Amino acid sequence: MILTWLGHSCFKLQDKIGSGGVTVVTDPFGKQFGLKLPNCEADIVTISHNHEDHNNVAALRGNPFVINCAGEYDIKNVLIEGIDSFHDDVQGAERGNNLIFRLEIDDISVVHLGDLGQPLDSGQLEKLAGTDILLIPVGGKYTLDAKKAVEVIAQIEPRIIVPMHYQTDELKIGGLDGVDKFIKEIGLSPSYEEKLKISKKDLPVEDMELVILKY
């Protein structure tokens, strides 16, 4: 499986490169937010919530199957479950609902938390048991901040952590924390990668690993 960060909360997941492969794109953003979405073709698109920095499906090539509702899906041998959650810690009263997505691709379980703003309850955690790779917002203001992100990571216990939704030089969304605050809070030494290329047998067995993907 190849995982590429396209910026903000947008990732490209591929089971393989080339013809016959399946490409999933999460939360594509609009160009008004300062980031440039690469020319990308998708088979499947997941949308965690209907905000313009997460729902720009029109920017993608192809005719993707769009998932923006909770439920279970089996598309091109990719198993996906959308799980209801909240964009804030007051039952959605401030910022509404959010979808968590669990994707089983190339025998690896990847969880994208969207713009999660709450600790997870027992029902959500049951659906996220056995997470291999966790894509988690850490920038605060609109989502989990560094401290709350670490608490959610302790709930899920993934093998690999990939932070997202934090301030970068190009991003025109003010008020988010940078990733350094999260790195300090979690206390792990990160590896910095252009892409994460990994198979099931390569996943860490004991200690969690922190991977910072480059935009």
Instruction: Give the chain's domain count.
Output: 1
Query: Quick check: 34 and 53 in contact, CB under 8 A?
Result: no
- CATH for 164: 3.60.15.10
Please identify which residue in the block is written with the tokens 């937010």.
33
Instruction: Give residue 135's Cα distance to chain centre.
Output: 4
- Give the other-Cβ count within 10 Å of 57's Cβ: 13
Radius of gyration of the chain (CA): 16
Please give the pLDDT value at position 18.
Answer: 60
- Give the other-Cβ count within 10 Å of 70's Cβ: 14
Query: Quick check: 58 and 36 in contact, CB under 8 A?
Result: no
Instruction: Give the residue numbers spanning the domain of 63.
Output: 2-213
If you write DSSP's letter for every residue of the chain in order, what string do you get? -EEEEEETTEEEEESSSSTT--EEEES---GGGS------B-SEEE-SSS-TTT--GGGSBS-PEEE-SSEEEEETTEEEEEEEEESSSSTTTTT-EEEEEEEEETTEEEEE-TT--S---HHHHHHTTT-SEEEEE-S-SSS--HHHHHHHHHHH--SEEEEES---SS---TTPPPHHHHHHHHT---EEESSEE--GGGS-SSS-EEEEE--
Torsion 117-122-126-129 (CA) sign:
positive
- Cα–Cα distance for residue pair 149/140, rounded to 1 Å: 9
Count of residues for the chain? 215
Please give the pLDDT value at position 19.
Answer: 63
162: nearest Cα among 198, 122, 121, 119? 198
| Tens of each residue's pLDDT in the chain, 215 residues | 999 999 999 999 999 766 678 999 999 988 877 788 888 999 999 999 887 777 889 889 999 999 999 999 999 999 999 999 988 777 766 777 899 999 999 999 999 999 999 999 999 999 999 999 999 999 998 899 999 999 999 999 999 999 999 998 888 887 899 999 999 999 999 999 999 999 999 999 989 999 999 98
- Cα–Cα distance for residue pair 161/78, rounded to 1 Å: 21
